[in-house]
Structure 1
Amino acid sequence: MNRTPVADLTDGQQIDQVFRAADKQLRVNRQGGKYILMRLSDKSGVIAAMMWNVDETMFESFQRGGYVHCHGRTQIHNGALQLIVTDIESIDESEVDVDDFERFDANESDRLMTRLGEILRGLRNAPLRQLAEVYLADENFVARFKKAAAAVSNHHAFPGGLLRHTVDMMELCQLVGPRYPQLDADLLTFGAFLHDLGKIEELSCDGEISYTDRGQLVGHIVIGVQMLGEKIADFEKNGEAFPAELRLHLEHMVVSHHGQIEFGSPKLPVMLESVTLHHIDNLDAKLWSYTAAIQTDVSGDGNWTNYTPSIGRKLWKKQS
């Protein structure tokens, strides 16, 4: 069946094709009528969708994460493209080409994991280099890291996104660290490696990306510190104690990387390396999400995107 990728959909397009139901919610409008708010996806992206005048039977007729055949029409609402669905039917996975919907790139993930290992094994700090080997020797950890997402939405919200975000940050640390001799470049780089590892447990990538119970109850920052403690315990099984002050510094890098209490950091960054890590993290996340806003914009203006509420501005999109 021919289909138009989500990323290529345009305003006013008639739709008769299959999507994956990334999310669904049954809601009630001001008049008491029920409607379904959905996120429909394929490997190219996600589009918001609405289906009006429904009941519980229609809502239960398809599963979150399952495949659905939709009829409808695209339209622009508040500057964003959405799909108004007029008919939806659940279909079996055997009826679709799964490659159209699989967002995980195994080859790219393997390449990034190799690069991550090169950076970690190139550190001059011996305890950090040895601790890195504890992580890399854990086959279950590596397998999950390679497929983990960095978010449900916003930046790097795709299987393999966490690894991409982490390696990009580590490479930035390798550039920034030597530029400022007052920084411990190895500590900064290892902090980039550690900072979001708790998302391996916080988010589930089995099917569509969603929060796990542990993620909702505990969160990736606390989970990341717990994981660090477990790996240090494994490190010390060889009879060598991990440096206590270095452990505190690593823990601080994890708990402060959001930069502000109101953004979820239990502590403000108070080390030069943790301040730097926060800004590198913010830079990579912002550039990724802003670029995505430009690439998916449906504005008729060739120079500017539509106003994007999540970032509070329009973006200049014309390429020189």
Structure 2
Amino acid sequence: MLCSVNRTPISDLTDGQQVEQSFRASDKQLRVNRQGGKYIILKLTDRTGTVSGMLWNADEIIFDSFDRGDYVHCVGRTQIHNGALQMIVTAVERMDPSEVDVADFERFDADQSQRLLARLSELLGDLHNVHLRRLGQAFLCDDSFMQKLELGAAAVSIHHAYPGGLLRHTVDMMELCALVGPRYPQLDTELLMFGAFLHDLGKLEELSGEGESTYTDRGQLVGHIVIGIQMLGDKIRELGSAGEPFPSDLRLQLEHLVVSHHGQLEFGSPKLPVTLEAVTLHHIDNLDAKIESFTNIIESDISADGNWTNYNPSIGRKLWNKRD
């Protein structure tokens, strides 16, 4: 019998609820407290959302009994912590995939993905700059790349952290660039749009594409910005091999858009934005990510005051939560 019977979706869990059901363990960390006791922090997910889990008095045997991405059966009780629901887990056991209804955990929207892929193809195909259009076509014709892009997440957490999230983030940013660019004649709108396409492509190799996103070894050692520059270089070399040399000055502009899009050195950018397009790209990226992440905070908050979320230490404030 599938364990999805009488299963409560994460979005419907409430404070003080006794829980005995399946989840996907998208992440786990074994930690030690000041007294030397060990505990496990869990990230439990289903198709409706994510809830943090705390398993006290744990050990390596429990920690090693399941892997990230496994389905697990958890026993515990929910409570509110810093305005968000979490679960105090008293037991966790790995489940075989045959024991769950995969539809309860599948967060990928295939129909939306196809619409976004069609829109991406349209945006890249409509570029007037022949070099950018050919470069875009080189990416679009790479079946392996496109399959990864269709399923890739934009992050492990915070924003667009779900299968297809990177595609959503990329297309939204390109459309924002197409709206903002013409407002400022000093901007090269097509260069800006292509920077939006390129800026996070390295996350396809930085993050694991299987199940819930985690960092790959390459992602940990190199990072998506460097990987993105390598991916750009590979495609430009392909064009050169096909007899379509790419302008070196345009390549420099694209590389700068990728390496500077985090905006600040302390946020991981090897270089600060020094072109108008790079400055614009950073702020559009930040805008799209912030709206997504703040929306997630509002939707996941359980507050006694319906007009406000609880204080969220990660952003240093409460958020207005009135939905009229």
1:35 matched residue in structure 2: 39
Displacement of 1:106 after TM fit?
A: 1.8
Letter in 2 for 1:124: H
Give the structure-1-normalised TM-score.
0.97
1:274-294 deviations in whole A, cap 9, x for unaligned?
111000000000000001111
Displacement of 1:64 after TM fit?
A: 2.1
**Cα distance in 2, alignment partners of residues 319 and 123 from structure 1:** 40
**Cα distance in 2, alignment partners of residues 90 and 210 from structure 1:** 19
Percent same amino acid among aligned pairs? Answer: 69
Q: Does 1:261 align with 2:265?
A: yes
**Cα distance in 1, alignment partners of residues 34 and 266 from structure 2:** 33
Within a 5 Å distance, the mapping from 1:110-259 to structure 2 comes to: 110-259=114-263
- Please point out which of 64, 67, 85 is paired with 2:68: 64
**Cα distance in 2, alignment partners of residues 240 and 50 from structure 1:** 56
1:21-40 deviations in whole A, cap 9, x for unaligned?
11122222233322221111
- Please point out which of 310, 315, 324 is paired with 1:311: 315
**Cα distance in 2, alignment partners of residues 77 and 297 from structure 1:** 10
**Cα distance in 2, alignment partners of residues 64 and 141 from structure 1:** 24
Displacement of 1:319 after TM fit?
A: 2.4
Letter in 2 for 1:46: T
Q: What is the RMSD of the two structures over their aligned residues, measured on CA atoms?
A: 1.1
1:123-179 deviations in whole A, cap 9, x for unaligned?
111110111111101000000011111000100011110000000000001101111
Displacement of 1:96 after TM fit?
A: 0.3
Gap runs ≥5 in structure 2:
none
Letter in 2 for 1:265: S
> Residue 43 of structure 2 aligns to a residue in which SS?
strand
Aligned residues: 320
Displacement of 1:9 after TM fit?
A: 1.2
- Please point out which of 296, 302, 308 is paired with 1:292: 296
Moved more, 172-181 or 18-27: 18-27
1:47 matched residue in structure 2: 51
1:44-101 deviations in whole A, cap 9, x for unaligned?
1111111122333222222221111111110012222110112222211001001111
Letter in 2 for 1:200: L
Letter in 1 for 2:317: R
Q: Does 1:6 align with 2:10?
A: yes
Displacement of 1:295 after TM fit?
A: 0.7
Displacement of 1:190 after TM fit?
A: 0.5
Gap runs ≥5 in structure 1:
none
